[in-house]
Amino acid sequence: MSLSELAHKTGISVSYLNEIEKGKKYPQSEKIALLAESLGVSYDWLVSLKLQKKLLPLSKLLASGFFEEFPLEIFGIEPAQFLEILVNAPDKVTAFISTLVEIARSYDMQIEEFYFSALRSYQEMHENYFPELEAEAHKCKNTFFPETTIPETLTLQNILEKEFAIQVQEYDFEKPLQHLRSLLKGKTLLINRLLNEEQKRFVLAREIGYALLKPAKRTYTFSWVEVKSFEEVLSNFQASYFAGALLLSENQLIADLQNFFTKENFDSNFLLNLLAKYRVSPETFLYRCTNLLPKHFSLQELFFLRFDNAENQFNLTKELHLSGLHNPHASALGEHYCRRWISISILQDLQKLPNPQKEILCKSQISEYYNSDNRYWVLAMARSLSPTPALSSVAVGIKISAQSEKIIHFLQDINIPTRKVGETCERCIAQNCPERVAKAIIWQKQEQKKNNREAIRKLLQ
């Protein structure tokens, strides 16, 4: 029945019926009675709070508060639009939601992983560059110190204490909180005494970001202890982005990167000197590069990876892909990432040093992937993950193309090693690989399926 037909039967206007259907209006009791009579159902059935069994997943989603805490509008979706989809095809939407829930259960996904995945999608939509946050950082610099000045730790602390009445105190976190970098307790920021100077500066800059951006919801710990909502995840990202922009001035870093890219040979010392100049960690530096490379160098096809290493386990703890999903990315649970990735080999190199807790390594390689024509120049840095005993590597990979070869002059440097790499050992076709740590069981299954298809094709002929 069309809305026009229902309007004719009930005497209710088409526009009002449309508002009801979109969830913008809840009809008065006399209008519900007219609707029930015209639709041939009882009044109680029409307003029943009980749903059919097949609609229960949808009911749980609506009752969960998901739409209150997940800001659909940042993805260009209005809640009314989503509700209209539900109204038009509730069975299909419910089936889709049930499928996602089953996938999440199969892969042991928690709600926070969904939030972080949504954040990555949000970053990718904007090529990880946010002008409004750049503007806030620029405004803060102009207010408190010159644009060209590298802010001192004491300067950042004074801004927090004098401008925002947040006292800063070094603190000895005890078990099980010894891994925390900071905790905001009321108007006091407790900073882990074991942090190095670069980490302390980032914690202070991030807290200034929170104070200026004034999010409705935020996390009070650094690192994560509990993820309560997407809004917390988003505000944490925005405060961290602000911190990177405050510590690594956009215009200054662009000039330094231009200088680096025009060199004829890869120079790791140049990058290590930049870390010393800006007094930031390798992660802050390389992640900041992912903000500026797409925007100012037209290098959109890139990825960012962070690996943590403890007890010889290599865990991918952070990733970002711009302009599509690139070859190195998170795989199914339990697989072993290729040991030829520079993200992992640099950690192995760092482990071999006499005092890895005090060293920073910087290396690069050109990675060529099996079963793919894609080639990437990958820049990796590794260092201790203070205050824990673990080691960490961060890497930015830039797809080699006509554009990247035009911008990065040293891509032809013969001293940059080139390696054939896979995704994981379980999926890799490499024969007699000395770095292999697991059998290629998934590749073997795929090959068996391919052989079966080929045998069936021949039989049918």
CA angle 250, 253, 255 (to 5 degrees): 110
* Pair (332, 443) in one structural domain: yes
* Pair (162, 288) in one structural domain: no
Domain membership flag for residue 42: yes
* Pair (406, 423) in one structural domain: yes
Per-residue pLDDT, averaged over 327-336, amounts to 68
pLDDT of res. 42? 87
pLDDT band at 312 (very low <50, low <70, confident <90, very high): confident
pLDDT band at 254 (very low <50, low <70, confident <90, very high): very high
Domain membership flag for residue 61: no
pLDDT of res. 287? 97
Q: Which two tokens stand for residue 66?
A: 């998901």
Other CB atoms within 10 A of residue 282 CB: 23
The whole-angstrom separation of Cα 111 and Cα 104 is 9
Domain boundary among 247, 263, 298: 247
pLDDT of res. 89? 72
pLDDT in tens, 179-227: 899 999 999 999 999 999 999 999 999 999 999 999 999 999 998 888 8
CATH number of residue 127's parent domain: 1.10.10
* Pair (235, 255) in one structural domain: no
Report the Cα 258 to chain-centroid distance in Å.
26
Domain membership flag for residue 117: no
The whole-angstrom separation of Cα 238 and Cα 218 is 10
* Pair (279, 135) in one structural domain: no
CA distances in angstroms from 433 to 274, 313, 329, 345, listed in the order given: 36, 19, 21, 14
For residue 126, is pLDDT > 70? yes
What's the mean pLDDT when you consider all of the chain? 88
Domain boundary among 197, 230, 247: 247
Whole-number percent of the chain with pLDDT over 90? 59
Domain membership flag for residue 108: no
Domain membership flag for residue 340: yes
* Pair (157, 269) in one structural domain: no
* Pair (391, 427) in one structural domain: yes
Give the structural domain span for 168: 122-247
* Pair (313, 365) in one structural domain: yes
Lowest mean pLDDT among 167-176, 284-293, 318-327, 364-373: 318-327
pLDDT band at 113 (very low <50, low <70, confident <90, very high): confident
Report the Cα 287 to chain-centroid distance in Å.
11
* Pair (333, 221) in one structural domain: no
Q: Nearest Cα to 230, choosing from 121, 382, 82, 94?
A: 121
CA angle 383, 248, 223 (to 5 degrees): 50
* Look-up of token digits 């440097």: 413
Give 56 or 419, the one with higher predicted confidence. 419
Count of structural domains, the chain:
3
Which amino acid appears at position 207 of this protein? E
Phi, psi of 32 (to 5 degrees): -60, -40
pLDDT in tens, 425-455: 888 888 889 999 889 998 999 999 999 999 9
Q: Nearest Cα to 391, choosing from 339, 356, 435?
A: 356
* Pair (229, 294) in one structural domain: no
Domain membership flag for residue 176: yes
Contact in structure between 17 and 3 (CB atoms under 8 Å): yes
Domain boundary among 219, 247, 275: 247
End-to-end CA distance of the chain: give it in Å, rounded. Answer: 51
- 3-state DSSP of the chain: CCHHHHHHHHCCCHHHHHHHHCCCCCCCHHHHHHHHHHHCCCHHHHHCCCCCHHHHHHHHHHHCCHHHHCCHHHHCCCHHHHHHHHHHCHHHHHHHHHHHHHHHHHCCCCHHHHHHHHHHHHHHHCCCCCHHHHHHHHHHHHHHCCCCCCCCHHHHHHHHHHHCCCEEEEECCCCCCCCCCEEEECCEEEEECCCCHHHHHHHHHHHHHHHHHCCCCCCCEECCCCCCCHHHHHHHHHHHHHHHHHHCCHHHHHHHHHHHHCCCCCCHHHHHHHHHHHCCCHHHHHHHHHHHHHHHHCCCCEEEEEEEEECCEEEEEEEEEECCCCCCCCCCCCCCECCCCHHHHHHHHHHCCCCHHHCCEEEEEEEEECCCCCEEEEEEEEEECCCCCCEEEEEEEEECCHHHHHHCHHHHCCCCCEEEECCEHHHCCCCCCCCCCCCCHHHHHHHHHHHHHHHHHHHHC
Domain membership flag for residue 70: no
Lowest mean pLDDT among 66-70, 165-169, 251-255, 416-420: 66-70
Domain membership flag for residue 161: yes
Per-residue pLDDT, averaged over 408-419, amounts to 96
Contact in structure between 54 and 97 (CB atoms under 8 Å): no
* Pair (313, 324) in one structural domain: yes
Other CB atoms within 10 A of residue 301 CB: 21
Region of residue 184 (phi > 0: left; psi between -120 and 50: alpha; otherwise: beta): beta
* Pair (286, 378) in one structural domain: yes
